[in-house]
Amino acid sequence: MALFPDSVKKVLVTGGAGFIGGAVIRRLLKNTSLQIYNLDKMGYASDLTSIDQVIKLMGIDGYGRHELIKVNLVDAKATGIAVAKADPDLVIHLAAESHVDRSISTPLQFIESNIIGTFNILQSLAKHWEKLPIDRRKRFRMIHISTDEVFGSLPPQGQFSECSPYDPRSPYSASKAASDHLVKSWFHTFGFPVITTNCSNNYGPWQFPEKLIPMVIMKAIKNKEIPIYGDGQNIRDWLFVEDHVDALLAVSAEGEIGRSYCIGGINEISNKKVVELICSILDEQRPKPSPYSRLIQFVPDRPGHDRRYSINPKRICKELAWKPKYEFNKGLQDTVHWYLNNLDWCESIMCKSNYKGERIGLQ
């Protein structure tokens, strides 16, 4: 089934060596004939293993359709050269620093990457778009991927929607909020064809092991303390990464220019419950004499820790006929199983990034 019209030939994915970007590129390789340009600075969490595996399995159909352009979006000149090289019909902008704890320790990196980087890609793409022939200008669009964290923290009731006011609480969410405003201003001021999406917490295979779910798995199998921030009752809406890819491709193909779409997994679960579920799954898949839950330890909370997130995905469900397919328990079981079978990759990327599982972000 064709995801895009035949007139769309080339796609530029920023941050394509990251967790979500890699999932997007793997799907595009498998399900389209698009030429894919992957613009990534190849930072600590960047990795091409999953993409290389797909290309190898595809053989001649995969080779030559994916090209890495190693560029940091903070470099305006290099960004402009990269855009000219890719000459895209579609841009999926995922490049961002995304780990809240790191934004507490090193906020400048988030300001530079998420705000200045988004400004530079907007500037370069706007120039590219203005020079396109009329038929290509009409089909061109940029999809800007953001987060539900820009909306702040919810009380026990209520949900985020496209109409929610912005109220970011961390350097990370503040930098993403700023990038959202930049993107929307380019639409309203210059008519630049953009669509914004705000997603909930993603999980699944190939996620860098500092994020909650892979971190818990790695700590548990190494018989190390599993930390839970505060009282563990912070609630997140969990979205399986392949469901997110489905949504992004639907928005890319059929979304309305200038519109925002909230993408949620409809899986609200406390951090404590997530950790307990992982321990239970590990008890089944890799049993030890005593339960993994004995490793759980409550630790001082993260500064400015948002209490609850919840997304109402009604708009994207109604307008683009999207809905999440993965129920959380099944998605989590599959994710734990994947990590247990890919421990070598986890150790390799942690070693490459010099990340040893330590806590980041304490003041």
> Which of 149, 210, 242, 276 is an active site residue?
149
Average pLDDT, the chain: 96
Q: Residue 1: pLDDT above 50?
A: no
Q: Residue 158: pLDDT above 80?
A: yes
pLDDT of 173-229, one tens digit each?
Answer: 999 999 999 999 999 999 999 999 999 999 999 999 999 999 999 999 999 999 999
Q: In what order do the strands lie in the sheet with 201-203?
A: 201-203, 235-240, 268-270
What confidence category does residue 63 fall into, taking pLDDT thresholds of 50, 70 and 90?
A: confident
pLDDT of 28-39, one tens digit each?
Answer: 999 999 999 999
pLDDT for the residue 291: 98
Per the listing, tokens 């855009």 go with 83
Q: What is the 3-state secondary structure (H, E, C) of the chain?
A: CCCCCCCCCEEEEECCCCHHHHHHHHHHHHHCCCEEEEEECCCCCCCCHHHHHHHHHHHHHCCCCEEEEECCCCCHHHHHHHHHHHCCCEEEECCCCCCHHHHHHCHHHHHHHHHHHHHHHHHHHHHHHHHCCHHHHHHCEEEEEEEHHHHCCCCCCCCECCCCCCCCCCHHHHHHHHHHHHHHHHHHHHCCCEEEEEECEEECCCCCCCCHHHHHHHHHHCCCCEEEECCCCCEEEEEEHHHHHHHHHHHHHHCCCCCEEEECCCCEEEHHHHHHHHHHHHHHHCCCCCCHHHHEEEECCCCCCCCECCECCHHHHHHHCCCCCCCHHHHHHHHHHHHHCCHHHHHHHHHHHCCCCCCCCCC
Beta 268-270 vs 235-240: how paired, if at all?
Answer: antiparallel
> Which of 37, 172, 261, 339 is an active site residue?
172
What confidence category does residue 148 fall into, taking pLDDT thresholds of 50, 70 and 90?
A: very high
Residue 276 corresponds to which tokens in the numbers above? 């307990």
172 catalytically annotated: yes
Q: Residue 81: pLDDT above 50?
A: yes
* Mean pLDDT of the 47-66 span: 91
pLDDT of 319-358, one tens digit each?
Answer: 999 999 999 999 999 999 999 999 999 999 999 999 988 8
- Looking at CATH, the fold of the domain delimited by 10-202+240-265+305-326 is given as Rossmann fold (3.40.50)
> Which of 47, 148, 237, 243 is an active site residue?
148
pLDDT for the residue 361: 74
Q: Give every CB contact of residue 67 below 8 A, 6+ residues apart in sequence.
A: 35, 36, 37, 38
pLDDT of 105-117, one tens digit each?
Answer: 999 999 999 999 9
pLDDT for the residue 363: 52
Q: Residue 2: pLDDT above 90?
A: no
Closest of 238, 173, 248, 195 to residue 21, by C-alpha: 248
What confidence category does residue 59 fall into, taking pLDDT thresholds of 50, 70 and 90?
A: confident
pLDDT for the residue 126: 98
261 catalytically annotated: no
203 catalytically annotated: no
* Mean pLDDT of the 140-150 span: 98
